[in-house]
Amino acid sequence: MNYYIITTETFGLVDKSQIHFMHNSIDKSKRLIATTEDVVERDRKFNNINTCSSYTFTNHSDWVGDGTGIDLEELEEGGYISEVDD
């Protein structure tokens, strides 16, 4: 699995069928995704699931806004929501 932060515009170009997890940034300008696809145009690539989760806790004001982050379990379970494809 690959873990990325991409822009909303780039999200429109990725293969949605390969996305396992997606979470919008609070300002909706970026998306954190877990995908089997290799995304070349990205803002950030994480080496593994642990660094991805840790990043969201360190930068919680960009991703969750409540002083927490995205847990490993959330990333592992998935959570792609198709109605946010817009």
pLDDT tens digits, one per residue of 39-61: 999 999 999 999 999 999 999 99
What ranges in the chain are assigned the alpha helix state H? 8-11, 49-58, 60-63, 72-77
Predicted confidence at residue 68, as pLDDT, reads 93
pTM value > 0.85: yes
Measuring CA to CA, which residue among 58, 61, 62, 63 is closest to residue 74? 63
Q: What confidence tier does 7 reach under pLDDT thresholds 50, 70, 90?
A: very high
- Rounded Cα–Cα distance for residues 32 and 79 (Å): 11
